[in-house]
Chain A
Amino acid sequence: MAVALATVALQSLEPEFFDWVWLRENFSEEVWPAVIGHLYLSLVSVGIALAISLPLGVLVARYRRLYAPVLFVTGFLFTIPSLALFAFLVAAGVGIGPRPVIIGLVSYSLLVLIRNVVTGIDSVAPETIDAARGMGLTNRQILFRVELPLALPVIVAGIRIATVTVIGIAVIGAFIAGGGLGQLIFDGIDRNFPTLVLTGAVMATLMAIFADVALLLVERYMRPWARRARGAN
């Protein structure tokens, strides 16, 4: 529906404002690579962030004293304006291109991911853990068979927020030559060509909406036990 609305909105504009012919002719050469590039930046960033956050979150859930410092550091990273962070990374010698963009996007994802891993593990009822231990599960078995499966819906909720945020911020990455849909927007501004700007903006928005809905479905799917219980009542 969003696509239909956007199409109608764009078609109603002045012909010179949005050039459909250009879009049709250049889609596979200019737009599609930018979409793929954007997807790549976002997925790689969330993937790396998750690989850091899962073990760190589990560690923090075990050793509570680490939680305050971890929240402080990741919270600090989260508050830095994205443009400033990218500029800083370039100045600090990381160079330009996708690398500093991915580093920046990872650092933005850490806060929400770690917090959701910890919250997810915390949400497991203590009696469930006690019963597991009382039946002779080892700590490792309790983590992998009880705590993480039960925490998974909350973790996926975190991945959803992180992904949507990252898709948005990745647009700014084009400023330091990270590629992606931001590139279309910046090029469009440079060339005073609104078609490019709009295409980049709409595609980024659609990608964020699509990711949001898809991960919401995954989140639901992760809890067959809760779904069935609701159905039974």
Chain B
Amino acid sequence: MIEFRGVSKTYPGSERPVVNDLSFEVPDGEVCVLVGPSGCGKTTSMRMVNRLIEPSEGQILIDGEPNMSMSGTQLRRKIGYAIQQIGLFPHRTIAENIGTVPGLIGWERDRIRSRTEELLELVGLDPGAYRDRYPAELSGGQQQRVGVARAMAADPPIMLMDEPFGAVDPITRERLQDEFLRIQDNIKKTIVFVTHDIDEAIKMGDKIAILKEGGILAQYDTPENILSAPKSEFVSSFVGSDRVLKRLSLTRVGDVDLEPANGYGDNLPRLSNRMSLKDALSEMIGAGAERSVVVSDGNVLGSLTLDAIRQLSGRTTK
């Protein structure tokens, strides 16, 4: 667990803090997304966790211990670190890049090698083909995969990710996000994830911390609650006027209570149970249908109506 306790950061020579009295907790195994406009101190807040930046006031506890209780380099070797610009070492091969932290903490060579292979497989790169290449020989998307693999190399319980999928095109980004969520489902790291993109925050976060200019925490809650009950004008304008649709995007068609499908004809639109309610709504409006049939691997699960979606989008329903 990561706890921010009254953390502030003011740079010398500046009167206004960039992070102002930040207090929140990130429970074990959860992804906490720090999101906000530029200048809201989200990256600064993240970098104070591994002390790339030292707070001016307050403290950050990791599993109950202040993060000042060991040296900065010791601390950083225990915390995964991935950034938007990736920062792979251009003069080291992919395998050497991934093996950086394990090497620093003294793993055996064989152990590093097998871990590297395992991680390359995990992020979807064939070890045989990529292990001995240099970063410049990889595409942007492949480099970001390596960046994430490198951050996970020594299996740190905590990871810091600063727009880790920010340097690639939207289609690749979405694929990387999906892959990462699938990986996170298994590894259950405690993650502080920084982005300026509210859609990414909603997709990736178990909790979202919305920060506003001057490093003030505007709201800290689950994506659901932030979308359904924004605490302030700032939050509701930041999440956007389409927050109802965003909320629908959080729920999959297969997860809602469906009506029985008995007796409905083949002319209705057929939706996959994996589809989000937002996409389902779009399909149904596009097809001009009031009702659709939900299927999973060809089996009919039930039927979904526009009315049901309308009700699910209301504030009172969860």
Contact = CB atoms under 8 A, between A and B. Distances in A.
The size bracket of the interface on B is: 20 to 34
Nearest to A225: B134
Interface in A196-229: 223-226, 228-229
A146 interface: yes
B100 A135 contact: yes
Interface stretch (A5-13, A60-68, A84-92, A126-134): A126-134
Interface stretch (B81-89, B108-116, B172-180, B200-208): B81-89
Interface in B151-195: 160
Given A131-B87, A135-B76, A228 B101 contact: no
A127 B134 contact: no
B136 interface: yes
Interface string A130-156: 111111111001000010011000000
Contact of A125 (B74, B87, B100): B87
B137 interface: yes
A129 B147 CA distance: 14
A138 B136 contact: no
A4 interface: no
A224 B88 CA distance: 16
Contact of A127 (B52, B75, B78, B83): B83
A134 B52 contact: yes
A1 interface: no
Given A136-B104, A138-B73, A127 B133 contact: no
Query: Most chain-B Cβ atoms within 10 A of its Cβ — which of A128, A134, A135, A146?
Result: A135
A229 B88 CA distance: 14
A232 interface: yes
B123 to A, nearest CB: 17
Nearest to A230: B136
Contacts of B74: 136
Given A127-B86, A137-B104, A150 B81 contact: no
Interface of A: 125, 127-138, 141, 146, 149-150, 223-226, 228-229, 232
Listed from nearest, the 5 A-B pairs whose CB atoms lie closest are: A131-B87, A229-B136, A136-B77, A127-B85, A134-B81
